Amino acid sequence: MGREFAVIGLGRFGGSICRELSKEGMHVLAIDLAEDKVNEFKNIASHAVIADTTDEKVLKELGIRNFDHVIVAIGDNIQSSILTTLMLKELGISKITVKAQNDYHEKVLNKIGADHVVHPERDMGKRIAHSMISNNILDHLELSDEYSIAEVKAGRKMSGKTLIDLDIRANYGCNVVAIKQAKDINVSPMPDEVIDHDDVLIVIGADKDISRFEKHLVVDED
C-alpha cells in the first residue's frame, strides 16, 4: 500500500505536489478553503475536501493523524500557514513540509517545529539564473544554505581531459560524483576517466566553489 499524504492549499505549488503524488499511486487527501480548487482535484486526489485547517477540531475530524506526511502549501496567508503548522505539530504528525513565503516566515516555521521548509519561487529563481549564465549549466539543486549539486555539460575546456588532468577537487573544492554519457551513467568515476564534449557531470560542493568551477571550466567563451 502507498504512503498517505495530505496536501493543504491547492495553488500552483500544492496542486503540483498533489498531482505528482497521485500519479505515483500515493493516497492523497487534498484540502483547500476554496470550493473551485477542491472541485478541480476531486478526480485527481484520493479525496478532496473544503476545510479550515487552522481549526484543530476540523483537523481531527479529517483524521489528519493517520497521514504519514502533511504538506502545508497555503498561499499568501502566512498566519494560516503558521497556525496550521502549529496545530499539526501539536497533533503529533510525524513529518510536516511547509512552503515559506519569505525568510521571516521560514524562521517562525523552524521555531515551531516544521520538519522541512521549502521556498519554491526562490529556489526556482536560483536554478533559472544559473541556467541563464550558460547553456552548459543544466540544473542546480540547493542542498542547504551553503551546499548544492550542479548538473553541467562538459564544454570545450574539459573535452578530451581526464578527471586527473582537471583536478576539480584540488582546484575548485568540488567533487564529481557521476558522469552521464548518452544513456549511461557512471557513478563514482575513476580519476583516469576521459571526459568527452557534451558529457554531463554531476558535481557537489559549496556554492562558492561550484560558482568558481562553473566560471572557469563550464562556461565556454564565445
Q: List pLDDT tens digits, range 49-106.
A: 999 999 999 999 999 999 999 999 997 899 999 999 999 999 999 999 999 998 899 9
Question: 123-218 domain in CATH 3.30.70.1450?
Answer: yes
What's the confidence (pLDDT) of residue 120?
84
Could you tell me if 44 and 30 are in contact, meaning their C-beta atoms sit under 8 angstroms apart?
yes
CB-based contacts of 1, cutoff 8 Å, min separation 6? 27
Measured between alpha carbons, how far is residue 46 from residues 4, 9, 17, 75, 101 in Å? 10, 15, 13, 22, 28
> Is 128's pLDDT higher than 70?
no
**Left if phi > 0, otherwise alpha if psi is -120 to 50, otherwise beta: which for 182?**
left
DSSP 41: T
Closest by CA to 7, choosing from 76, 94, 82, 70, is: 70
What is the radius of gyration, based on Cα positions, of the chain? 22
- Cβ-based burial of 99 (10 A; exposed 0-12, middle 13-18, buried ≥19): buried
Q: Where are the domains of the chain?
A: 4-118, 123-218
Asked whether this chain's domains 4-118 and 123-218 adopt the same fold, the reply is: no
What's the confidence (pLDDT) of residue 144?
78
Q: How confident is the model at residue 119 (pLDDT cuts 50, 70, 90)?
A: confident
DSSP 158: T
Architecture of domain 4-118: 3-Layer(aba) Sandwich (3.40)
* DSSP track, 95-110: -EEEE-SSHHHHHHHH
- What is the per-residue burial (b if ≥16 Cβ within 10 Å, else e) of 179-192? bbeeeeeeeebeee
In the block, residue with C-alpha cell 477542491: 38
| Mean per-residue pLDDT of the chain | 90
d(CA 92, CA 83): 14
Could you tell me if 41 and 10 are in contact, meaning their C-beta atoms sit under 8 angstroms apart?
yes
Query: For residue 119, what are the β-bridge partners?
Result: none
Query: What are 194-216's pLDDT values in tens digits?
Result: 999 889 999 999 989 998 998 88
Count of other CB atoms within 10 angstroms of residue 56: 15
The mean per-residue pLDDT over the stretch 9-32 comes to 94
